[in-house]
Homo-oligomer: A and B are copies of this chain.
Amino acid sequence: MNKLPARVKLVDVGPRDGLQNEKQPVPAAVKIDLVHRLQAAGLTEIEVTSYVSPKWVPQMADNHEVMQGIQRRAGVRYSVLTPNLKGFEAALADRPDEIVVFGAASEAFSQKNINCSIAESIERFAPVVAAAKAKGIAVRGAMSCTVGCPYEGEVPPSRVDYLAGLMKGIGVEHVGVADTIGVGTPKKVQAAFEATFKHYGVDQVSGHFHDTYGQAVGNTLAALEMGVWQFDASVAGLGGCPYAKGATGNVATEDVVYLLHGMGIDTGIDLDALIDAGAYISQQLGRPTNSRVARAVLAKRQG
């Protein structure tokens, strides 16, 4: 474990990626409250909302209201998803620190999810990336299905290499290696990172794991061992798995923080305050938390 970073930055994607995939709608005030609780717990990067058609993603129709309602904290970056130029222009008024574009490493997933090929999706993102850079807004490229795809099955590293190259080609500065359906295990995840490292340095790459098969903490460890120090996670494990109803989706931020602190890796996050934030949103959703750490700590608090 030589390459282990001393410090890790976590991006909480719960308000956007998480809540978008929860069935129950959540009022804007609750989302704003969640963001406030996350930043109070020490999160310095929060994926807040998405600028897409409310016809497709009604859960994010309140994007302006949420972004305008946040009391911004110095040192915290607020990112938003803008899949096209229309979305990007709508987002501008809300002054995001970073925009996120999504591409898939699997052709089948790209077709089924956004109705175009990988190459076409990149063409569509190119003007968004250029516009963001012109405005001095950072750009993150989320690469989905880098290990497995619900339609194609296993995704070889060569597809990740291809996608990362396309992202680099349109000027995306940072890419996330996502195991969208949680099927990855450590060696496969490391292979996806290796393919990405052909185009990006370790400081420009983050990991995004789902815990559907209980492997997210192990995959995080495997990425840490490669020197990766930036990860997405979702408070309370918000967001289910759309490909296996009732199964777990995004890894819970609490569980990743527990891993990191246990290994002496600094995150700047107050785990107890984070657990409280997760308990708050879980209560709002009327369902138990998906974080094992939160479950254990809350059980112990109750005696």
Instruction: Specify which chain B residues have a CB less than 8 angstroms from the CB of A188 in the assembled complex.
Output: 262
Q: Could you tell me which residues of chain A, from 188 to 231, have a CB within 8 Å of some CB in chain B?
A: 188, 190, 211-215, 217-218, 220-222, 225
Q: How many chain copies?
A: 2
Contact flag A184-B262 (CB < 8 Å), given A217-B215, A255-B214: yes
- B182, A248: Cβ atoms closer than 8 Å: no
Contact partner, A221, options B212, B222, B292, Cβ 8 Å: B222
- A1, B295: Cβ atoms closer than 8 Å: no
- A299, B217: Cβ atoms closer than 8 Å: no
- Of the four ranges (under 10, 10 to 19, 20 to 34, 35 or more), the interface on chain A belongs to 35 or more
- A247, B295: Cβ atoms closer than 8 Å: yes
**Smallest CB-CB A-B distances: 7 pairs:** A185-B262, A214-B292, A214-B255, A244-B299, A247-B296, A217-B218, A218-B221
- A293, B186: Cβ atoms closer than 8 Å: no
- B299, A246: Cβ atoms closer than 8 Å: yes
- Check A160 for interface membership: any CB of B closer than 8 A: no
Instruction: Specify which chain B residues have a CB less than 8 angstroms from the CB of A259 in the assembled complex.
Output: 185-186, 215, 218
Q: How far is the CA of A293 from the CA of B217 in the complex (A)?
A: 14
- B246, A295: Cβ atoms closer than 8 Å: yes
Given contacts A187-B263, A247-B292, 16 further A-B contacts (CB under 8 A): A1-B225, A185-B258, A186-B262, A187-B262, A211-B292, A213-B296, A214-B255, A218-B220, A218-B259, A221-B221, A221-B222, A243-B300, A244-B296, A246-B295, A248-B295, A248-B296
Q: How far is the CA of A263 from the CA of B222 in the complex (A)?
A: 12
Looking across the interface, which residue of chain B has its beta carbon closest to that of A299?
A: B244
Q: How far is the CA of A217 from the CA of B259 in the complex (A)?
A: 11
